[in-house]
Amino acid sequence: MTNQANKENMTANTVGRLCFRNVNALAPMVRVGTLPTRLLSLDYGADIVYSEELIDIKMAQCQRVVNEVLETVDFVAPDERVMFRTCEKEKDRVVFQMVGYTRELSLSAMENDVAAIDVNMGCPKEYSTKGGMGAALLSDPDKIEAILRTLVKGVSKPVTCKIRILPTLEDTLSLVKRIENTGVAAIAVHGRLKDERPRHPVHCDFIQAIAEAVSIPVIANGGSLDRVKAHADIEEFRKATGASSVMVARAAMWNPSVFRSQGLLSVEEVMEEYLKYAIRYDNHAFNTKYCLCQMLRDKVESPLGKQLKSAQTNKEICEGYGLQEYYKKTQAELQARREAIQTNHNHPNQPVLDGDVTTMHVKFERREYPGEFSPKMFLLEWSRKENLEQPRYETVQRSQDRAFQSMVTMTGKKYRSTLWEKSKKYAEQASAIVCLRVLGLPEGRAGEEYSGLVGKRKREKNNEMPDEEDTTTYFGARKRHLSENPEEQRVTNYSK
């Protein structure tokens, strides 16, 4: 066990928050670290995936959009460009990396969609250093401290930072101790100086000294070229640096299956899997091309490379990989979903079959149900009356806005509203409404025609004998109507 691992074993795990101990991470990489690469890296075994660095000011201008068709959350710039796209599958493991820090950037808009926030303090590129950000921050520890303290205080998710080493070990250790004191959850160390290029050897001794000096997890980085080529090398790099975790950039850019404990896959195989994600999540074709070209490396002049270079769309890219059928099928699925969503929006009263679930665009508005009987109660009462199994509710909560969606099963059939509700209770009511409307049953809405069920309950409350005949007639009539002409009942009842 490494010194860091030893120390960390004595530190309790923080439950429910992303843990940076003993993890293999996909490093942040501009253009490479978009959704398809991140998902593929997770598939192959990465524990954590960093986004590409995104400039704070640009993010501040973005609007958060829930993309119902792709099932993603998009941060969209004023020019309609998707700056950051994420989905459920990575929500607990994606770290959003930002460069720069201004007060305009409201991280609260996105902190629910990611597992942690990282600040890049190692970027040597002019666009970030000229504004005093990126690697320029390394010579301004006061500013580093101020930024990190503000973020740690203001963000509910773990905050980390990524640095490069300083010319002397003494200065480097002094810096990382100050960083540790800000309360960050981990520190990623690219073991090179600001002016060193990726071809220069990585300074494992500096990373080791840092790992000795601090108690928070240190994520070693910089080993791709000469040390990390396959999964087993990651562990070697971890040992050589004494760090808790390892972050891999270029080796993963060339072949994300570097995270695969069973060994590397061929680049051809990996490219195909990458492309599938790119299509499924409608990745920008230029970005898809760029990432595939990085995987091809010196084979860019091969026939496949040439085809890739000339392709302008994801569809054309697919042709080179024999994935035309997959492309068509995925497009058809996305189109079907688009239409179903559109139908729901245009004809809120029209039921749409989504797999084996009947869906409608229904929202439970409390004020529309002024009586003491909720749609759920109506459904339950009906099931009892008909000697049927009681309705069964299954509810899910989505991460991006903590909203709820419920599905009710009644007589083996499933019903769901396409709309998400602010509470579990409301989501159940909405699904009950869908079921009641499709079955043509009363739901207790204001102005609804007289319901025998309501009458029965009221009489029970008044200690009168319930008028069995009344409710039976009511439901009986409805039931006959349903079984005789289900289409007609749908049309009749949607207008309620």
Ligand X SMILES: Cc1cc2nc3c(=O)[nH]c(=O)nc-3n(C[C@H](O)[C@H](O)[C@H](O)COP(=O)(O)O)c2cc1C
Catalog residues that contact ligand X under the rule CB under 6 A.
27-30, 32, 52-53, 97, 120, 122-123, 162, 190, 198, 221-225, 248-251, 253
The residue among 8 and 52 lying less far from ligand X, judged by its C-beta, is 52
By C-alpha distance, which of 286, 331, 294 is closest to 313? Answer: 286
Q: Give all strands of the β-sheet with 392-397 in edge-to-edge order.
A: 352-354, 357-360, 413-417, 404-410, 392-397
Q: How far is the CB of 294 from ligand X (least distance, A)?
A: 7
CB nearer to ligand X: give 294 or 400. Answer: 294
* H or E stretch covering 43: helix 35-44
| Residue closer to ligand X, measured from CB, 196 or 448 | 196
**Which residue lies nearer to ligand X by CB, 33 or 375?**
33
242/444 with CB nearer ligand X: 242
Q: Report the Cα 225 to chain-centroid distance in Å.
A: 31
Is 123 catalytic? The answer is: yes
- Pick the closer one to ligand X by CB: 162 or 437: 162
- What is the CA 147 to chain-centroid distance, rounded? 26
Q: Which one from 19, 62, 87, 123 is the annotated catalytic residue?
A: 123
Instruction: Give 82: exposed, middle or buried? Use CB within 10 Å, 0-12, 13-18, 19+.
Output: buried
**Which pair of structure tokens corresponds to residue 198?**
């990726």
User: Number of helices and strands (H, E) in the chain?
Assistant: 19, 17
Spatial contact of 122 and 410, defined as CB atoms under 8 Å apart? no
Partner residues linked to 162 by β-bridges:
120, 188
In angstroms, what is the minimal distance from the CB of 381 to ligand X? 59
Sheet hosting strand 63-67, strand order edge to edge:
63-67, 72-76, 82-87
d(C-alpha 349, C-alpha 339), whole Å = 15
The least distance separating ligand X from the CB of residue 414, rounded to whole angstroms, comes to 44
Q: Are strands 404-410 and 413-417 parallel, antiparallel or unpaired?
A: antiparallel
Can you tell me the distance from the alpha carbon of 425 to that of 170, in angstroms, rounded to the nearest whole number?
58
> Minimum Å distance from CB 286 to ligand X?
15
Active-site residue list = 123
